[in-house]
Amino acid sequence: MAVFVIRRLMQSLIVLAATAALVFLGVFAIGDPGEMLIPPDATPAERAQVMAALGLDRPLPVQFVTFLANILQGDFGRSFVFDQPSIALILGRLPATLELAFVALAIALVLGLPLGLLAGLRPRTATDEAIMTGSILGFSLPNFWQGMMLIMIFAVWLGWLPSTGRGPRGTILGIETSLASWEGIRHLILPATNLALFKLALVIRLTRTGVRETMPLDFVKFARAKGLTERRIVLVHVMKTIMIPLVTVIGMELGSLIAFAVVTETIFAWPGIGKLLIDSIMRLDRPVVVAYLLVVVAMFITLNFLVDVLYSILDPRIRLGRA
Amino acid sequence: MTAPLLDVRDLRTQFGTGVRAVKAVDGVSFTVDRGEILGLVGESGSGKSITGFSILGLIEPPGRIEGGRILFMGEDLVGAPREALRRIRGKRIAMIFQDPMMTLNPVLTIGTQMVEAVLAHDAVPRRTAVERARDALGLVGIPSPDERLKAYPHQFSGGMRQRVAIAIALLHRPDLVIADEPTTALDVTIQSQILYEVRRLADAFGMALVWISHDLGVVAGLADRVAVMYAGRIVETGTVDDVLDRPAHPYTRGLMDALPATAVPGDRLRPIPGMAPLPTSRPDGCPFRTRCFAATDACRAEPVVTVAAGHEWRCHHPIREPAA
């Protein structure tokens, strides 16, 4: 286990370094930051002075090393727009996105697992067909359209729920969250549902397929021959078996929920990192974009690692030491 | 004479419905007495495994028991409520499966899978259940059972896994164990060990055993009585001595001749010509007539069962006349 952790950490560092290089080169290729920072009427001498002050006159490899060295010291550059360290901006917005993503994931699991089980245990019945049709809608209707429909139905027509923004926050167990008050929860319901719909469809399908593949196996029949109740067979024998593929996919999907909550956050004006990214791209606020990409990559690497560790707990046949 | 432990009468199990239904078991009747070992012999597809699963009510859709009765200690298991069947499974009738690599859940420990089997039928404290599981492992010859309870199936060899499956089957000291080719997937040396263990344990606990096999040699050394199945029916039943030494049905004779152990050294083995008919295209009358050396036009009619002193066969042209 220790060997596995150390090796994975080394791999992660290599991936991070490679990403940093890609991001740096990508930003370099987009264009000359001088065009945006320096007024068009500046003289060539003034221009050269600014470029020298920003270090932009030095050769590319030197700039890259400086960039890496700064990152290692926790300096991701300052936002042009907010004039704050870009990493602080992102970390300041991250809790809102994490809250949205975890609530969405919880909705997807709490509804998806039972529905998938139900469909898988009663294949080709009306129940199964209804659930599967619903999940096709969840898959194929565009996310932004689902969001607009949610706003139209629940905020505009019925007037039950607010359509934009994050509600008041309170503290639960030292974490600042909207879940502390009913008003905060009301603000969370629509965006979280919107973000959850696609994942819900995915969880339903994965669970159903897993159940359908596991039920005919010999060990299920043997469990029946032992006289176990159907309840124990499904909840212990079948569920534990299908958790393995489910954990893999959900682990990766959680990353994408956080990284790409962009659409939902834009529609519902949710003050998270997705909305910050869109705003920064529009304003060409490069340090924020770079920091965002690096944070997202680091997050994916961490999630990947956690999934691997969870795997070894769920499936005893996996030996992490030899991975 | 007391009633038999298990009395299967005209059991019919089929898959699908209507004209395309596959009659896997087509009117099977046999009995098993307390403590008796019955060998159920036949080729692949003869319906012997389906017969075993039917007794435990483990036939899943699209399959179903179409007719007949399965009387276990006088109670009909056909059409019995699910919960009543569950209480019998693993408690009064246990089953051992063919492939030990597939019968244990790979993600649960041996201990979990044994303890849940105890708790499914007996409301005992967890510690008692663990002790019973450990004792059962010791009984089937698994060394250091305490540690092995914490192990997962992949840490066992095939033979050891089959011992675990047998230990699970014996947890409740059932009256009847149905063993579906439990040694077929194992090495020959392991086979004989498992056979010996099962025989010893069946004797020790007075369990009746239905031993399903395609191997007449195995059955000859183990069983008290033999039932030979062909195309969803039993074609010959009797004591091991009657059936194997004086077979009446040409099919039984053919199976014997195909056994390497009974052949004269140097002679060619004599396999039965042709293949067992598919359940969808069985000949009318006697289903064996297309492969039988003794077949005549008379075989187009359904053969009736002849009974002679506990030896029964279903054939128009039995090989020998019953001894007086």
Secondary structure letter of residue B140 according to DSSP: T
pLDDT tens track for B68-102:
899 999 899 998 898 999 999 999 999 999 888 89
What rounded mean pLDDT belongs to chain A? 84
Predicted pLDDT of residue B89: 93
b (16+ CB within 10 A) / e for B84-103:
ebbebbbbbbbbbbbbbbbb
- The string of pLDDT tens digits covering residues A165-186 is 887 777 777 777 777 778 888 8
Q: Say what the pLDDT of residue B115 is.
A: 95
- Find the mean pLDDT for residues A22-33: 75
Q: Give the per-residue pLDDT at B320.
A: 67
* Residue in A222, A228, A240 closest to B120 by CB: A228
Does B145 fall in a domain?
A: no
Concatenated DSSP letters for A57-90? Answer: TS-HHHHHHHHHHHHHTT---B-TTT-SBHHHHH
Q: What is the pairing mode between strands B208-213 and B22-32? A: unpaired
pLDDT of residue A104: 93
pLDDT at B324 over 50: no
Measured distance CA(B109)–CA(A280) in Å, rounded: 52
- pLDDT score for A32: 67
Q: What is the pLDDT of residue A75?
A: 82
Are A211 and A288 a contacting pair, CB within 8 Å? no
B130 in a structural domain: no
User: What does the pLDDT average to over B206-213?
Assistant: 93
Q: Is B87 on the interface with A (CB under 8 A)?
A: yes
The pLDDT of A212-240, averaged and rounded, is 92
Q: Which residue has the higher pLDDT, A77 or B94?
A: B94
Predicted TM-score of the model (pTM): 0.81
B146: in domain: no
Put simply, the answer to whether B116 touches A232 (Cβ < 8 Å) is yes
Residue of A nearest to B154 (CA): A317
pLDDT of res. A51: 77
Q: Let me know if residue B307 belongs to a domain.
A: no
Residue A253, both tokens: 């999907």
Least confident of A17-21, A235-239, A283-287, B93-97: A283-287
pLDDT band (50, 70, 90) for residue B129: very high
Distances (CA, A) of A308 to A102, A197, A218, A304, B73: 20, 26, 27, 6, 52
pLDDT of residue A83: 78
Q: In Å, how far is B102's CA from the nearest CA of chain A?
A: 6
- Of B267, B126, B101, B107, nearest to B184 by C-alpha is B101
Q: How far apart are CA A303 and CA A300, in angstroms?
A: 5
Please give the Cα distance from B219 to B261 (Å, whole number): 13
Write out the DSSP string of A164-183.
Answer: SS----EEETTEEEGGGSHH
Residue B169 has pLDDT above 70, yes or no: yes
Least confidently predicted of A76-85, B117-126, B210-219, B310-319: A76-85
Question: So what's the pLDDT on residue A29?
Answer: 73
Contact between A225 and B58 under an 8 Å Cβ cutoff? The reply is: yes
Nearest residue on chain A to B89, judged by CA atoms?
A227
Contacts of B97 in chain A (CB under 8 A): 218, 221-222, 225
State the best of A211, A214, A219, A244 to mutate against chain B, taking most chain B CBs within 10 Å. Answer: A219
d(CA B155, CA B167): 17
Please give the Cα distance from B299 to B288 (Å, whole number). 9
pLDDT of residue B323: 47
Higher pLDDT, A220 or A307: A220
Distance of alpha carbon B62 from alpha carbon B15, whole angstroms:
5
**Chain B residues near residue A225 by CB distance under 8 angstroms:** 56, 58, 89-90, 94-95, 97
Q: Under an 8 A CB cutoff, do B97 and A315 touch? A: no
Over residues A42-55, the pLDDT tens digits come to: 788 888 887 777 77
- Chain A residue closest in CA terms to B114: A226
β-strand partners of B307: B312
Q: How far is CA A289 from CA A99, A261, B16, B214, B252, in A?
A: 21, 15, 61, 70, 81
Query: Rounded CA gap, B192 and B189, in Å?
Result: 6
Count how many residues are written for chain A.
323
Least confident of A27-31, A162-166, B50-54, B283-287: A27-31
Q: For chain A, what percentages of helix, strand and coil (3-state, to nearest 5) are there?
A: 75, 0, 20
Q: Which of B86, B104, B109 sits opposite A227 (nearest CB)?
A: B86
Task: Kindly state the average pLDDT of the residues B269-296.
Answer: 82
- The rounded distance, in Å, linking the Cα atoms of B295 and A160 is 83
**Cβ under 8 Å to A: B residues 3-62:** 56, 58, 60
Contact B117 A228 (CB under 8 A): yes
Find the helix or strand (DSSP H, E) in which B25 lies: strand B22-32
Taking the CA atoms of residue A112, residue A114, residue A120 and residue A122 in that order, the dihedral angle to the nearest 10 degrees is -130
CB-count exposure of residue B35 (10 Å: 0-12, 13-18, 19+): middle
Out of A158-162, A178-182, B242-246, least confident range: A178-182
Output the average pLDDT for chain B. 87
- Least confident range from B205-209, B223-227, B296-300: namely B296-300
Out of A28-32, B20-24, B246-250, which region has the weakest mean confidence (pLDDT)? A28-32
Hey, are the CB atoms on B152 and A217 less than 8 Å from each other? Answer: no
| Interface-testing mutation among A221, A226, A235, with chain B (most B C-beta atoms within 10 A) | A226
User: Mutation test of the interface with chain B: which of A212, A213, A222, A318, choosing the one with the most B Cβ atoms within 10 A?
Assistant: A222
Mean per-residue pLDDT, B239-267: 83
Q: Nearest to residue A137, comparing CAs of A210, A207, A197? A: A197
Apex B310 CA angle, B307 and B313, nearest 5: 40
Question: What pLDDT band is residue A206 in, cutting at 50, 70 and 90?
Answer: very high
Question: Between B324 and A30, where is the model more confident?
Answer: A30
- Nearest-Cα distance to chain B for A284, in Å, is 51
Q: Kindly indicate the confidence band of residue B189, based on its pLDDT and cuts at 50, 70 and 90.
A: confident
B163 domain-assigned: no
Mean pLDDT over B234-249 rounds to: 89
> Domain span at residue B209?
6-92+172-247
- Residue A273 CA neighbour count, 13 Å, CB half: 28
Residue with tokens 């008041």: A168
Structure tokens at A96: 């809102």
Does B57 map to a domain?
yes
pLDDT at A322 over 50: no
- Mean pLDDT of the B306-315 span: 86
In a domain, B209, yes or no: yes
Please enumerate in sequence order all residues whose Cβ is within 8 A of that of B317, keeping only pairs 6 or more positions apart, or say none. B250, B294, B295, B296, B298, B299
Residues of A at the B interface (Cβ-Cβ below 8 Å)? 216-219, 221-229, 232, 236-237, 240-241, 244, 314-317
Per-residue pLDDT reduced to its tens digit, A241-274: 998 888 888 888 888 888 768 888 888 888 888 8
| DSSP result, A189-214 | HHHHHHHHHHHHHHHHHHHHHHHHHH
A163 close to A190: Cβ distance less than 8 angstroms: yes
Asked if pLDDT for residue A233 goes beyond 90, the answer is: yes
> Does B234 fall in a domain?
yes
CB distance A236–B108 less than 8 Å?
yes
Tally of domains within chain B: 1
Q: Where are the alpha helices (DSSP H) in chain B?
A: 48-55, 82-88, 100-103, 110-119, 126-139, 145-148, 158-170, 188-205, 216-222, 240, 250-257
Residue pLDDT, tens place only, B7-32: 999 999 998 877 778 888 888 999 99
What does the block give as tokens for A284?
A: 């060409």
Instruction: With a cut of 80, say whether residue A81 has pLDDT above it.
Output: no
Q: What does the alpha-carbon distance between residue A297 and residue A299 come to, in Å, rounded to a whole number? A: 5
Judged by a CB distance cut-off of 8 A, whether residue B80 touches chain A is no
The interface pTM score, or ipTM, of the predicted complex is 0.89
Kindly report the backbone phi and psi dihedral angles of residue B239, in degrees, each rounded to the nearest multiple of 5, phi listed first: -70, 160
- Residue A78, beta-bridge partner list: A85
Domain CATH for B234: 3.40.50.300
The Cβ of residue B265 has, within 10 Å, a number of other Cβ atoms equal to 5
Phi-psi category of residue B233: left, alpha or beta, with phi > 0 → left and psi -120 to 50 → alpha = beta
Q: Does B212 touch chain A (CB under 8 A)?
A: no
Give chain B positions within 8 Å (CB) of A319. none
Residue B72 confidence (pLDDT): 93
Asked whether the bond before B62 is cis by omega within 30 degrees of 0, the reply is yes
What pLDDT shows up at residue A33?
64
Which residue bears the tokens 């199945």?
A: B229
B117:A315 CB<8 A? no
A40 Ramachandran zone, left/alpha/beta (phi>0; psi -120 to 50): alpha
Closest partner CB to B97 (pick from A218, A240, A244): A218
The half-sphere exposure of A250 on its side-chain side, counting CA atoms within 13 A, is 27
Helices first, then strands: H and E counts in chain B: 11, 12
Q: Are B228 and B242 in contact (CB under 8 A)?
A: no
Among the residue ranges A7-11, A134-138, B223-227, B233-237, the one predicted with the least confidence is: A7-11
Residues of B in contact with A244 (CB under 8 A): 107
Q: What is the mean pLDDT of residues B265-288?
A: 80
